[in-house]
Structure 1
Amino acid sequence: HSWFYRKTEPFFRGMENGYQKALTQFMKVRWLSFVLIGGCIAIIVLIGRNLQSELAPMEDRSQFRLQLSAPEGTSFDAMDKYVDRLSNFMLDSVPEKITVLSVTSPGFSGSGNANTGFVRVTLVDANERERSQEEIVNMVNRNLPKYNEGRAFAIQEQTISVNRRGGQPVSFVIQNNNFTKLTEILPKFLEEANKSTVLQQVDIDLKFNKPELRVQIDRLKASELGVSVGDISETLQLAYSNRRLGYFTKDGKQYQVMGQVARSNRDDPDDLKVLFVRNNRGEMISMDNLVSVEESNTPPTIYHFNRYKSATVSANVVPGKTIGDGIKEMQGIADKLLDETFATSLSGSSRDFAESSSNTSFALLLALGLIFLILAAQFESFIDPLIIMITVPLAFAGGVLSLGIFGHTWNIFSQIGMIMLIGLVTKNGILIVEFANQNRMAGMKKTEAAIFSATQRLRPILMTSLAMSLGALPLALSLGAAATSRIPLGVVIVGGILFSLILTLFVLPAMYT
């Protein structure tokens, strides 16, 4: 044997003897294995229920953007000045910037609307600045209320976005085909959302901010004066619709002929009343005698979601909270205010989060089922796979406990880590159970076979478990680019393997007997 073997073998021999003595004593109180399994299940339920959830941890991508909007009817020039003010604020207050790009009226609200814009800020790499991207965004959001010509909020791009959607992370859709009920409940919903300690920068897409003139025709009076409703509507159309009346050609070029009154005669709502319409006797009748005009506000667009009239309430979450907390808060407000005629749904990043959660839960159950069936076929028994699968809740408890201790969230990467744990930790059970079955066939009693097999398999179990843990350690230590997303994956793997390793060496032989 080599020098290294001679130096290390006494240590491993002593470790095996110590483990064998401890396992022999544990077998005398093996009912404690049920207590340990119950404790692990309690850890999974209690700590897992209190873990914050999100689609993926927010990566520092060295960029963010300001989403801007102004009241409906804002001119392009006014909006451009607002965008320039915020661009200058970014240039002055964010020394870590590389570029600041601003765009006025990019068409977010449909063509022809000039009341939107955005400012995109690119930062130097994370290792070249003292402040993180999140700290810079929080500073910007604290200062945005000073720029009150419109509404602005800073947005970090989600780490994972299925359809590259923009907007805020929490998007909660309220649906009701009764438009009156929908519009009545929205102010109350927004009031509750603005009071929330979880949500910030609450906004809604259904805004009643588009000026509108409602023209009511006095049909009885019009009939008495010999004016038809069609004549009145056609006169209004000719005066204000800018309708194309025809074409004319000059110098080989064709031009449209558009018809409407001059701007000086259509800037004031009262200008409508000085129009005249000809009656059936050829007389000119003032429009003031035929119609009444009422000013009101209306939404620029009536939104639909799954064929229902809808309004989407969007919000950001305060620092320290996640998208899962935001969705729970929105759902709590909905349960409090909405009756059974309303339906709710999610959109944007919130929908991505909900769909990924359900998909990974299905993948977790599928992995458990497939491994059980494969083990049942391998051992030609349903009992041995059940004993081996006892290692799974032990590993899950270690993974959940590690997430809670180190302050990480329940996200798609930690869920992938849990799925990986199923395969990684059942290996320990296979090593012990298979060897114990062979020893029983050789004539050993069940308890003797369990203790002997666990002792003989101690070294390969330690070797493989430590190798996997050390292999995942760089993930948990946040080494390399885009490490933030991978930290929960590494923490779950390392914590789950080490926690289950200690318990498996005692619980599994006890459960085998």
Structure 2
Amino acid sequence: MLREFPETERIFTSVGVSNEGLIGQSSNNAVEFNVTLTSPKVRTRSTDEIGMLMKQKVSSIPGSKVRVNPIGIFGTANQTPIQIIVGGTNFQDVYASAKKLADIAKSTKGAEDVRLSVDEGKPESRIELDRDKVAAFGLTIGEIGNALQIALSGDNSAKFRDANAEYDMRIILDEYDRSQTEKLLRLPFVNGFGQQIELQQFATVVQSSGPTKLQRENRNTAITVFSQALGRPSGNIVADIQKGMEGQTLPDGVFISYLGDQKNMKESFVSLGLALGAAILFVYLIMVALYDSYVYPFVVLFSIPVAFVGALLAMALNMKALGIFPVLGIIMMIGLVAKNAILLVDRANQARKEGFSVLESLLDSGRTRLRPILMTTVAMILGMLPIAISKSSGAEWKTGLSWAIIGGLSSSLLLTLVLVPVIYYIVETFKDKRQLKKNLQRHAQEQVQKVQS
């Protein structure tokens, strides 16, 4: 089936083991297909689209449950980008709420392969202990649990040595005894007095149905809703799911927390936001030392907002989400766009010291600094273009960063040449008027002192 897709290059099959996450998991009823696709340059469909089509085809096999996970940078299957935990004290309330949330996720555009971490209704045998009888017989819950685990799941701690060879001994009840409730109830226990007591004397076995897996979150029963993101950023999908849940009433004690990309992005954006603020602060402090003034650095900083606008516009036009790499590109861009404004302001200050007026200084600055600004900015933009338009494997990680830099530099190139001179003119005019006012006041005071003398 998988070979029928023209994008399939090779397939590696693992039977009885899953490499999902950093640590593989063994399972005797699972098989994993690691499918390597052809280069993005020679195919028109994305990895996510092909994965969903493969899932639909393989799911046609009766009795099969199919999951599709992309391979991460560590070579293992990524966890799903959307993970929402529903927790509470009562399992039935938690399961009902998780089902409701999963239904909303399935109806959300871009959410694919929605599933729960727990399935309800698996048949099980539950052993209910009479704690008073357990205490009366001189047994403990730990001893009973350990003995039942060995009887039902087995224990490999015993060894058999024969000459130079050593063999593991697995101690476990045979399959017939494990499957018969009557046999299990006659399982013997020995208390501290050497008395032999059967399980049926202090416990009963109840046939019921229960969840396939027990999951805990902050000491509460929990169920995780997993979903892949296809065609839309995971943050937008989660936002739509949150809107859908706003009109729903959750039972008392039930809570919802968002993990996956939503949590990672939130934590990363906090750190990157601090880095962004630190970058702007360092640029300002360096310029304060350069100009020996607290005013001119503010003129230079006005070039940064217009660069932000260009970066966001370029990402929107190229349908790139604001993620970690684009934010890193914006941080890199701050120093580059500030350089253009520094060239203008520095030359204008030199012209002012030579005796030119504010307007003449700005015209000279724009005329003499246009070429170096164009050369450095255009060179940087052309250098980033191959990365921005790359279609190679893993290019989606880098294109957002490139477009953020290209958009920021482009808007900075066009708008800084207008905005920075305007702000500089306003600041210098204000300073000249203030200086003129001080001179007039000082002259008036000198005249008053002459009249009084």
TM-score scaled to structure 1, two decimals? 0.66
Partner residue of 2:59 out of 134, 138, 145: 145
Q: Give the total of aligned pairs.
A: 410
Q: CA, structure 1 residues 258+342, in 2 after alignment: closer, same or farther (shift >3 Å)? A: same
The 5-angstrom pairing of residues 355-370 of structure 1 reads 355-370=267-282
Instruction: Give distance in 2, aligned partners of 1:366 and 1:257.
Output: 62
Give the root-mean-square deviation of aligned CA atoms.
4.3
**Is the 8 Å Cα contact of residues 104 and 241 (structure 2) preserved in structure 1?**
no
Residue 231 of structure 2 aligns to a residue in which SS?
Answer: coil
Q: CA, structure 1 residues 165+373, in 2 after alignment: closer, same or farther (shift >3 Å)? A: farther
Cα drift, residue 198 of structure 1: 3.2
AA aligned opposite 2:408: G
Q: Which one has more relative contact order, counting CA pairs under 8 Å at least 6 apart?
A: 1
Residue 225 of structure 2 aligns to a residue in which SS?
Answer: strand
The 5-angstrom pairing of residues 35-74 of structure 1 reads none
AA aligned opposite 2:418: F
Which residue matches 1:118? 32
Which residue matches 1:101? 12
**Is the 8 Å Cα contact of residues 475 and 489 (structure 1) preserved in structure 2?**
no
Q: CA, structure 1 residues 323+266, in 2 after alignment: closer, same or farther (shift >3 Å)? A: same
Partner residue of 1:324 out of 235, 245, 259: 235
Instruction: Give distance in 1, aligned partners of 2:176 and 2:77.
Output: 43
Q: CA, structure 1 residues 456+128, in 2 after alignment: closer, same or farther (shift >3 Å)? A: closer
The 5-angstrom pairing of residues 367-378 of structure 1 reads 367-378=279-290
**Is the 8 Å Cα contact of residues 169 and 315 (structure 1) preserved in structure 2?**
yes
Instruction: Give distance in 2, aligned partners of 1:419 and 1:457.
Output: 24
Instruction: Give distance in 1, aligned partners of 2:269 and 2:365.
Output: 40
1:346 partnered with 2:250: no
Q: CA, structure 1 residues 104+199, in 2 after alignment: closer, same or farther (shift >3 Å)? A: same
Instruction: Give distance in 2, aligned partners of 1:505 and 1:245.
Output: 77
Which residue matches 1:154? 68
Cα drift, residue 257 of structure 1: 8.1
**Is the 8 Å Cα contact of residues 348 and 362 (structure 2) preserved in structure 1?**
yes
1:435 partnered with 2:435: no
Residue 310 of structure 1 aligns to a residue in which SS?
Answer: strand
Q: CA, structure 1 residues 503+259, in 2 after alignment: closer, same or farther (shift >3 Å)? A: closer
AA aligned opposite 2:8: K
Instruction: Give distance in 1, aligned partners of 2:318 and 2:153.
Output: 64
Cα drift, residue 399 of structure 1: 1.3
Q: CA, structure 1 residues 440+291, in 2 after alignment: closer, same or farther (shift >3 Å)? A: closer
**Is the 8 Å Cα contact of residues 7 and 43 (structure 2) preserved in structure 1?**
yes
**Is the 8 Å Cα contact of residues 276 and 286 (structure 1) preserved in structure 2?**
yes
Cα drift, residue 390 of structure 1: 0.8
Cα drift, residue 247 of structure 1: 8.5
Give structure 1 stretches of 5+ with no counterpart. Answer: 1-88, 279-284
Q: CA, structure 1 residues 459+124, in 2 after alignment: closer, same or farther (shift >3 Å)? A: closer
Which residue matches 2:325? 413
Instruction: Give distance in 1, aligned partners of 2:87 and 2:50.
Output: 36
Residue 83 of structure 2 aligns to a residue in which SS?
Answer: strand
Which residue matches 1:486? 398
Deviations along 1:116-138, whole A, 9 cap, x unmatched?
33111123434455655344223
Cα drift, residue 374 of structure 1: 0.9
Instruction: Give distance in 2, aligned partners of 1:423 and 1:277.
Output: 76
Which residue matches 1:496? 408
Residue 179 of structure 2 aligns to a residue in which SS?
Answer: coil
Partner residue of 2:81 out of 159, 169, 192: 169
Residue 153 of structure 1 aligns to a residue in which SS?
Answer: coil
Residue 114 of structure 1 aligns to a residue in which SS?
Answer: strand
**Is the 8 Å Cα contact of residues 268 and 324 (structure 2) preserved in structure 1?**
yes
AA aligned opposite 2:107: K
Instruction: Give distance in 2, aligned partners of 1:443 and 1:257.
Output: 97
Residue 80 of structure 2 aligns to a residue in which SS?
Answer: coil
Which residue matches 2:109? 197
Instruction: Give distance in 1, aligned partners of 2:308 and 2:117.
Output: 42
Residue 216 of structure 2 aligns to a residue in which SS?
Answer: strand
**Is the 8 Å Cα contact of residues 431 and 457 (structure 1) preserved in structure 2?**
yes
The 5-angstrom pairing of residues 455-470 of structure 1 reads 455-470=367-382
Residue 120 of structure 1 aligns to a residue in which SS?
Answer: strand
Instruction: Give distance in 2, aligned partners of 1:323 and 1:99.
Output: 29
**Is the 8 Å Cα contact of residues 40 and 392 (structure 2) preserved in structure 1?**
no
Cα drift, residue 458 of structure 1: 2.2
**Is the 8 Å Cα contact of residues 189 and 337 (structure 1) preserved in structure 2?**
no
Instruction: Give distance in 1, aligned partners of 2:166 and 2:340.
Output: 83
**Is the 8 Å Cα contact of residues 117 and 225 (structure 2) preserved in structure 1?**
yes
Instruction: Give distance in 2, aligned partners of 1:453 and 1:246.
Output: 86
Residue 196 of structure 1 aligns to a residue in which SS?
Answer: coil
Q: CA, structure 1 residues 105+337, in 2 after alignment: closer, same or farther (shift >3 Å)? A: farther
Instruction: Give distance in 2, aligned partners of 1:481 and 1:386.
Output: 42
Residue 157 of structure 1 aligns to a residue in which SS?
Answer: coil
Q: CA, structure 1 residues 363+260, in 2 after alignment: closer, same or farther (shift >3 Å)? A: closer
Identical aligned pairs, as a percentage?
A: 27
AA aligned opposite 1:323: S
